[in-house]
C-alpha cells in the first residue's frame, strides 16, 4: 500500500442516512469516496452535496442483489480514482413487520438485500483487495443480530446475524492477503430513517427503558470507527464485530 496516495472507499446504500454520514467521515479523513445506491439520482445528489467539485466524491448505481453491479462499481471506482482500498457494506432493508405477518416473499427479499448483498460485495471487492495485497472491508451488522431485534423485524435481525458470520468467514479467507474484514453492530442509531420507522412514543420507551446510557448511537461516531478499522495500522484487527449499542448488549 502506498501511504502517499489518497485512499479510496466505496460505500453501499450511501445516498442517505448512516451511509451518507460514513461518507462524510471518510472524506474528512482524507478519502475519496464513491457513493453507491440503487437510486442513481439520489446517489448523484448525495455525491454533489458531499463534494460539488467532483474530485472527492462520485456516485454509481449499485443494486446489491446483482453481482455484476458490484463488478461494475469496482471498475468505475478504479477507473475514476485509480484504485480502491475500502468497501463499506451498508445497504440494507430495515422492515419492522411483526414476525407472524412476514410473508415468505418479504423474508426472502430482506435476506437477499441484506445478507446476499453483503456476501456479493465481500466476494467481488475482497478478491480485488487480495490480488493487490491490501484492502479493508467493513460490514454493517446490528444489535438486532445479537439479541433478536428490539424494534426491527425477524428477517432483518436474522440477516444481521448472518452478516456477523460472513464477516468471520471472509476475514479468514483473506487474512494472509493483507485484507481485513470487520463488522460494526450498532444499536438504534440517531438517523431520520429510525425515527421514521419507529413511532416516537415507542422510541422514547426504547431509549429510556432499554438503553442503559439512555441515548441512541451517534452516526458520526460509527463513521469514525469505519475510518479507524480501515487504517493501515489496523492490519491485525479482523473477523471482529464492534458493538456500539449504549450498553444494551454487553459481552
The CA-CA-CA angle for residues 189, 197, 208, to 5°, reads 55
What pLDDT, on a 0 to 100 scale, did the predictor assign at position 240? 98
Give the DSSP letter of residue 99.
Answer: G
Distance CA 37, CA 161 (A): 23
Q: Would you say residue 3 has pLDDT above 70? A: no
Domains of the chain, residue spans: 8-244
- Is residue 30 within 8 Å of 229, Cβ to Cβ? no
Cα–Cα dist 241/132, whole Å? 25
pLDDT band at 202, cuts 50/70/90? confident
How far is 242 from 251, CA to CA, in rounded Å?
11
Q: Which residues are catalytic?
A: 156
Greater model confidence, 200 or 13: 13
Instruction: Give the tens place of pLDDT for each residue, 117-152.
Output: 999 999 999 999 999 999 999 999 999 999 997 668
Are 77 and 35 within 8 A, CB to CB?
no
* Cell numbers placing 105: 416473499
Give 68-83 pLDDT, tens digit per residue. 999 999 999 999 999 9
| Confidence bin at 206 (pLDDT 50/70/90) | confident
Quote the DSSP letter at residue 238.
-
Choosing among 1.20.140.10, 2.102.10.10, 3.50.50.60, 3.40.50.720, the CATH entry for 8-244 is 3.40.50.720
Mean pLDDT for 171-179 is 98
Amino acid at each position: 500500500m502506498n501511504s502517499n496516495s489518497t485512499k479510496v472507499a466505496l460505500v453501499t446504500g450511501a445516498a442517505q442516512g448512516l451511509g451518507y454520514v460514513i461518507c462524510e467521515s471518510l472524506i474528512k479523513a482524507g478519502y475519496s469516496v464513491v457513493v453507491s445506491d440503487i437510486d442513481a439520482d439520489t446517489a448523484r445528489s448525495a455525491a454533489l452535496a458531499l463534494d460539488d467539485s467532483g474530485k472527492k466524491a462520485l456516485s454509481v448505481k449499485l443494486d446489491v442483489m446483482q453481482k455484476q453491479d458490484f463488478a461494475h462499481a469496482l471498475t468505475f471506482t478504479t477507473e475514476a480514482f485509480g484504485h480502491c482500498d475500502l468497501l463499506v457494506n451498508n445497504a440494507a432493508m430495515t422492515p419492522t413487520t411483526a414476525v407472524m405477518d412476514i410473508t415468505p416473499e418479504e423474508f426472502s427479499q430482506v435476506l437477499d438485500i441484506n445478507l446476499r448483498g453483503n456476501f456479493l460485495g465481500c466476494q467481488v471487492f475482497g478478491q480485488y483487495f487480495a490480488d493487490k495485497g491490501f484492502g479493508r472491508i467493513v460490514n454493517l451488522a446490528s444489535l438486532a443480530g445479537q439479541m433478536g431485534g428490539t424494534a426491527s423485524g425477524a428477517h432483518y435481525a436474522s440477516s444481521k446475524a448472518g452478516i456477523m458470520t460472513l464477516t468471520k468467514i471472509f476475514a479468514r479467507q483473506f487474512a494472509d492477503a493483507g485484507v481485513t474484514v470487520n463488522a460494526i453492530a450498532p444499536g438504534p442509531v440517531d438517523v431520520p430513517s429510525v425515527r421514521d420507522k419507529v413511532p416516537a412514543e415507542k422510541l422514547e420507551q426504547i431509549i429510556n427503558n432499554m438503553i442503559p446510557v439512555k441515548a441512541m448511537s451517534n452516526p458520526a461516531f460509527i463513521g469514525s470507527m469505519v475510518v479507524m478499522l480501515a487504517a493501515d495500522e489496523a492490519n491485525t484487527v479482523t473477523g471482529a464485530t464492534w458493538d456500539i449499542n449504549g450498553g444494551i448488549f454487553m459481552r
